A and B are shown apart, each in its own frame.
Chain A
Amino acid sequence: MKFDFLGRFSRNRGALVGAVVILGVALLAILAPLVYPTDPLRIVAQPELWPGEDPAYPLGTDSLGRDILAMIVHGARATLLIGLFASSVATIIGVGMGATAGYFGGWIDEIAMRAAELFQTIPNLIFVLTIVLILGSTLQNIVIAIGIVSWTPIARMTRAEFLALRDREFVQACRAMGMGNGRIILGEILPNALPPVIVLSSLVVAGAILFESAVSFLGLGDPNIASWGRLVGDGRQLIRSSWYICAIPGVAIMITVLCLNLIGDGLNDALNPKLRDR
């Protein structure tokens, strides 16, 4: 079954390209300290060198003279890690809420859905900025804040899956055997409910990356982290003369998000072959 799934996934060329690129980016992020062992925030050359002007700095330098390529490579780390952690938080909360709501139903479901509605109503960026303001803009806070505003779609999807699966025969058989609720939820239903959640998770990672970029672009992110969004923000003053400082990190974000979307589409097609509209 698994090979079948992989086969379907690879047939989607876009998804394959996306997966390869993301792996490349991840590799770059992991290997960053090897490729660019020195601190990327170190000033290395004259400021505002255009890409291609100096072959030693293929992507040019920024307003202070720092190597943009080095910053991009290191920024990959920050961006990917934040995206992964934030979406993990969102997934844990979302799956937890959705599973409980879908399995137990009744007033538990009501409360969970009301909570989901609440977090969908509060404008997400405003909420994150408020948390950042009040609790401080550290990496942990930002990751948790992004997770808190992103869990709703995962919860809804998990809940729908649980609602569909909880009345199936195999669950009833487990109950008849005397299995406790916890075991049923975690051991029996969850593995079956996960595929659509996995599809959603790639989109959530993409969303988290966009989110974090926006926060650091505004200059309200963790000051010690030089994520790509922050690089775009830093280059704002120079758009008249050296707009490449803004452009390049933004392209990096876009490519990453694009690939994640392609992977998400590929996963979707691979898991739901009947739903393809072609």
Chain B
Amino acid sequence: MAGGLAVSSRQLAALRLLRRRLIQAVPLMLGVVVINFVLIHLAPGSFLELMTAENQVSDPATVALLRKTYGMDDPLWLQLAKYVWALLHFDFGFSYRQNMPVLQAITIHLPATLLLMVSSITLAFAVGVAAGVVASIKVRTVWDTLVSVAAMFFFAAPSFWLGIMMIVLFAVKLGWMPVGGMATIGGGGGVLDILHHLILPTLALGLFYAAIYARVMRSSMLEVSQLDFVRTARAKGLSRRQVTVGHVLRNALLPVVTILGVQMGTVLAGSVVIESVFSWPGVGSLLFDSVSSRNYPVVLGILVLGSLVVIAANIAVDLVYMWLDPRIEIR
């Protein structure tokens, strides 16, 4: 009974956090939309001209319809209001290039990107934390130096270059990995095949962040192991491993999880480049294609949806942090 009370109070706190963050997300998204809107109107030449010219729409009836849809003749504030209204109805416009609504084009490509993001973050977290822990346990030894040097290397190496080098080594020279794409063309497209294709892109994207986490984890572990409660744990007769895992590690993880949240935006951005290197059919490839073909609605749609993904990921990370650290109180 007593146990039940304590658990649900943390659940309540989690729900409160969720609610607060969702409420905070609204002005944030509004800001994104406004920025989008500003960008549209910063374009030299009218947005409509650009759209119609690039997409070779010349039929006057269509042009008039577009004019009406995008409210070109309305005052600025009305245009913004209509734009927001449209977005709320999930109307991101139409992509002539893909011949489908923008939203649909994006959501088709989204799962591939999410897969890449999740696997990269997982890799980065697992490898980074493990390396940081090892370095801190074997501080000032060869292992520590090795981890530090590796971290420096992967932190400085541009991820696209790393990806290309990996392709050269593992795909071209050794033939262990596929050169690109998400699945073997003509193959069954089974889970294993996809995972095989996922390895190099994940490494290329994730090792950069693993380097960061390794460094942070290392100094966090060293810091936490100096704290009073670690001494208490040892005085209880717990073995070094029990102390390191149960007491030091659990507390040292907190700063790393915090950083995770902050970097969500850059991870998503990084996947754009990696997708280009590995021909991974995600939103990044769509973005690249759209920028090259000047497909404005799609690019802007990706901006909005990308921000949404970042917000969602941030909330998820916050919830994880709350779960790890019972000291967080949400008023």
Q: A61 interface residue, CB < 8 Å from B?
A: no
Interface string of A129-142 (1 = CB under 8 A from B): 11111111000000
User: Given the interface contacts A118-B28, A118-B32, A243-B172, does A126 sit within 8 Å of B39 by beta carbon?
Assistant: no
B158 contacts A214, CB within 8 Å?
yes
| Bound Cα distance from A206 to B296, whole angstroms | 30
Contacts of A214 in B (CB 8 A): 158-160, 273
B303 contacts A133, CB within 8 Å?
no
Pick from A135, A253, A262: contact of B158, CB below 8 A: A253
A267 CB to closest chain B CB, in angstroms?
A: 16
User: Given the interface contacts A129-B287, A239-B168, A250-B164, does A122 sit within 8 Å of B299 by beta carbon?
Assistant: no
B221 CB to closest chain A CB, in angstroms?
A: 10
Pick from A219, A239, A250, A262: contact of B172, CB below 8 A: A239
B38 CB to closest chain A CB, in angstroms?
A: 10
Secondary structure of the A contact surface, majority rule: helix
B299 contacts A129, CB within 8 Å?
yes
Q: B247 interface residue, CB < 8 Å from A?
A: no
B273 contacts A120, CB within 8 Å?
no
Contacts of B152 in A (CB 8 A): 258, 261-262
Contacts of B159 in A (CB 8 A): 214
Beta-carbon nearest neighbor of A236 in chain B: B164
User: Given the interface contacts A122-B35, A250-B157, A258-B156, does A220 sit within 8 Å of B42 by beta carbon?
Assistant: no
| Bound Cα distance from A239 to B161, whole angstroms | 11
A residues 82-138 touching B (CB-CB < 8 Å): 114-115, 117-118, 120-127, 129-136
B307 contacts A122, CB within 8 Å?
yes
A107 CB to closest chain B CB, in angstroms?
A: 14
User: Given the interface contacts A129-B272, A214-B273, does A250 sit within 8 Å of B31 by beta carbon?
Assistant: no
Stretch from B227-235, B260-268, B318-326 that touches the partner: B260-268
Q: A232 interface residue, CB < 8 Å from B?
A: yes
Contacts of B273 in A (CB 8 A): 125, 214, 217-218
Tally of contact residues, A, Cβ under 8 A: 46
Tally of contact residues, B, Cβ under 8 A: 53
Contacts of B276 in A (CB 8 A): 218
B residues 156-179 touching A (CB-CB < 8 Å): 156-162, 164-165, 167-168, 172
Q: B252 interface residue, CB < 8 Å from A?
A: no
A209 CB to closest chain B CB, in angstroms?
A: 9
Interchain residue pairs with CB less than 8 A apart (30): A114-B27, A114-B28, A115-B31, A118-B28, A118-B31, A120-B262, A121-B265, A121-B314, A122-B32, A123-B269, A123-B307, A124-B265, A124-B266, A124-B269, A133-B294, A134-B39, A135-B44, A210-B158, A214-B159, A214-B273, A218-B288, A232-B158, A239-B164, A239-B168, A243-B165, A246-B168, A250-B161, A250-B164, A257-B156, A261-B152
Give the A-binding residues of B (Cβ under 8 A): 27-28, 31-32, 35, 39-40, 42-44, 140, 152-153, 155-162, 164-165, 167-168, 172, 219, 222-223, 262, 265-266, 268-270, 272-273, 276, 287-288, 291-292, 294, 296, 299-300, 302-303, 306-307, 310-311, 314
